[in-house]
Amino acid sequence: MLGYALGVSSETPNLPRRIAHLDMDAFYASVELLRYPQLKGLPVVIGGGRRREDDLLARMRAAQPDREWTIEHLAEIPVDMFPRINGYTGRGVITTATYAARAFGVGSAMGVMKAAQLCPQAILLPVDFEQYRHYSRRFKEMVYDIAPLVEDRGVDEIYIDFTDVPGGQRQGGRALARLIQKSITDATGLTCSIGVAPNKLLAKMASELNKPNGISILQAEDLAEKIWPLACRKINGIGPKADAKLQAHGIHTIGELAAREPQWLIEHFGKSYGAWLHAASHGIDDRPLVIESEPVSMSRETTFEKDLHVLHDKAALGDIFTRLCQQVAADLQRKGYVGKTIGIKLRFDNFQSVTRDSTLDVYTADAKAIRHAAGLCLKRVEFKRRIRLLGVRVGSLVRADCDQALHPSPLKALSSVFSAREAQPLKEPHHEQADLF
């Protein structure tokens, strides 16, 4: 979780503004193909029912009991052993799909049952958000090292200000885009598509022109040739309702939209949206990059493959809880922060979410201190249902080298980092068990 955002734009008056939009190619599916390279080129969808790697390995052990099958052998599992979506029943939704599956009309947010009708031979894999976040952090770290002004737009896309970065103006930004593409692929094995243009609006459109693993450069003079022939929906901000209304007025392409008078658009779509439609169709967008400020908190969480019981699965919960605390501590130490608000997040099998937190007297990035304080928070939760998600959060962050962290007030310095100001735990036996994990 990050703090407020700061608008940042280039201050160099002599250089034309060059903004890049980087979009990872079929990100979740591509991460899965790193694990299962034998599926490359095949239609694969991510989502639906939650299956585990162990299920595939169990099938292989049953089919070939004469050899060892472990997680190191995932790439050797025959394609025929993977589950297909043919005959799928349920309410599962597709998170993403490989380009081979998209060729059949399968897309993100589509129901798995519908996808099964379009491409019954597609392979169905479960989501693994922890792995996707891992690769998201890795590709962003590569970009930050090359071009530090970045707007984070989610797990698989970012905007980058190329304007003042060495190579950012050469060939309209193509030289720097190639360097970033190669750096990401070398570090992760994944590919991305990059669009470079005078602003964020056109950069995002450009990144979709040459997918996958493509680079598209747009200059202001390219608008009529490359942008105006596109459908209006290609403009980020024109949704299905607005598009249907535009089509009802005979406006199907961005060029047709650009040809309408601003006053006509305002009369039919309102003062603000109508003016924006006119500006967007002419490629006008003055929005600055929104650069992340100092983070106000860092967190780690995980969703379990199966719901866990606080008593029957306390050993597993304890290991997971400790690992989450260690991961948050490592994140803090790597990025140079300390915090003093320690919190937990739980989601039960009925999807009810619960959070608790407490405030320490001094700042810390120590895994044991975080584990202890988070464990005390657990004692304030009523455990009557199984747990499907567990998370740990450290907030009220400051830089580890700031005076506030290095020189706490004398009275607070006398207190241990373990002395959290919180309500007394309840005494029922099932609450006491929570402290065991």
Per-position DSSP letters for 310-377, written without gaps between them: TTTTHHHHHHHHHHHHHHHHHHHHHHTEEEEEEEEEEEETT--EEEEEEEEEEEE--HHHHHHHHHHH
User: Which amino acid appears at position 158 of this protein?
Assistant: I
Quick one: 49 and 123 in the same domain? yes
Nearest-angstrom CA–CA distance, 211 and 191: 10
- Which pair of structure tokens corresponds to residue 74? 């995932």
Quick one: 393 and 273 in the same domain? no
Quick one: 314 and 271 in the same domain? no
Give every CB contact of residue 313 below 8 A, 6+ residues apart in sequence: none
Closest CA to 142 of 175, 186, 205: 186
pLDDT band at 140 (very low <50, low <70, confident <90, very high): very high
Question: Is 157 assigned a catalytic role?
Answer: yes
Question: Greatest CA span in the chain, whole angstroms?
Answer: 76
User: Which amino acid appears at position 97 of this protein?
Assistant: A
Q: pTM value?
A: 0.66
Give every CB contact of residue 15 below 8 A, 6+ residues apart in sequence: 163, 164, 169
pLDDT band at 48 (very low <50, low <70, confident <90, very high): low
Q: Which domain holds residue 302?
A: 297-436
Q: How many domains does the chain have?
A: 3
Cα dihedral sign, 128-131-137-143: negative
Q: Is residue 63 part of a domain?
A: yes
Q: Span 236-249, mean pLDDT? A: 96
Quick one: 348 and 252 in the same domain? no
Q: Which among 128, 145, 165 is the end of a domain?
A: 128
For residue range 3-23, list pLDDT tens digits in order. 333 344 444 457 999 999 999
Q: Is residue 206 part of a domain?
A: no
Nearest-angstrom CA–CA distance, 72 and 64: 16
**259: CATH:** 1.10.150.20
Query: Is residue 423 over pLDDT 60?
Result: no
Give 21 or 68, the one with higher predicted confidence: 21
Q: Is residue 17 part of a domain?
A: no
Nearest-angstrom CA–CA distance, 434 and 375: 8
- Residue 293 is predicted with a pLDDT of 62
**326: CATH:** 3.30.1490.100
Given 130, 141, 151, 157, the catalytic residue: 157
Query: Is residue 228 over pLDDT 60?
Result: yes
Q: Is residue 264 part of a domain?
A: yes
Nearest-angstrom CA–CA distance, 138 and 343: 26
Quick one: 310 and 422 in the same domain? yes
Q: Which among 128, 152, 173 is the end of a domain?
A: 128
Q: Is residue 1 part of a domain?
A: no
Q: What are the two backbone dihedrals, phi and then psi, of residue 201, each rounded to the nearest 5 degrees? A: -60, -50
Give 12 or 126, the one with higher predicted confidence: 126
Q: Which among 84, 111, 128 is the end of a domain?
A: 128
Give every CB contact of residue 122 below 8 A, 6+ residues apart in sequence: 43, 44, 45, 84, 85, 97, 101, 104, 106, 115, 116
Q: Is residue 322 part of a domain?
A: yes
Low-confidence winner among 2-11, 64-73, 111-120 (lowest mean pLDDT): 2-11
Quick one: 340 and 404 in the same domain? yes
Q: Span 315-326, mean pLDDT? A: 94
- Which pair of structure tokens corresponds to residue 283? 């490629």
Quick one: 334 and 398 in the same domain? yes
The share of the chain scoring above pLDDT 70, in percent, equals 88
Quick one: 243 and 338 in the same domain? no
Burial of residue 251 (CB within 10 Å: 0-12, 13-18, 19+) is buried
Query: Is residue 419 over pLDDT 50?
Result: no
Nearest-angstrom CA–CA distance, 243 and 304: 40
Long-range contacts of 135-141 (CB under 8 A, 24+ apart): 135/27, 135/31, 135/188, 135/190, 136/27, 138/187, 138/188, 139/24, 139/184, 139/187, 139/188, 139/190, 139/192
Whether residue 386 contacts residue 309, with contact meaning beta carbons closer than 8 Å, is answered with yes
Quick one: 306 and 407 in the same domain? yes
- Which pair of structure tokens corresponds to residue 148? 């530090």
- Residue 177 is predicted with a pLDDT of 97
Q: Span 167-188, mean pLDDT? A: 95
